[in-house]
Amino acid sequence: MRIWRYVATKVRDVGTGTDSWEIRELYPEDDGGFSYTAGPISPAGDDLAELVRDLDNMAADAPLPWLDLTGDHPRLVNDAST
């Protein structure tokens, strides 16, 4: 069974060169690799309480290693100061 988590993701707009942040789902692999959703995801819920839980889960995962998509190859970064 694969376990996923939310991951803060730094992206760069190819047109402007501007960096921004978004949330994606990260799927760690047993061999140390990983995959991730092709685009950003939004919090969602069938009711307000579920939406708040989703936001809380995103916030809880934010301090974990983040995904850097600004270079030639995706990489996980273990530095919360960025």
DSSP string across the chain: ----EEEEEEEE-TTT--EEEEEEEEEE-TTS-EEE-SS------SSHHHHHHHHHHHHHHTTSPEEE-SSSS-EEE--TT-
Residue 82 has pLDDT above 80, yes or no: no
Q: Does the pTM of the predicted model rise above 0.85?
A: yes
pLDDT digits (tens, 9 = 90+) for 22-67: 999 999 998 989 999 999 999 999 999 999 999 999 999 999 999 9
Residue 1 has pLDDT above 50, yes or no: no
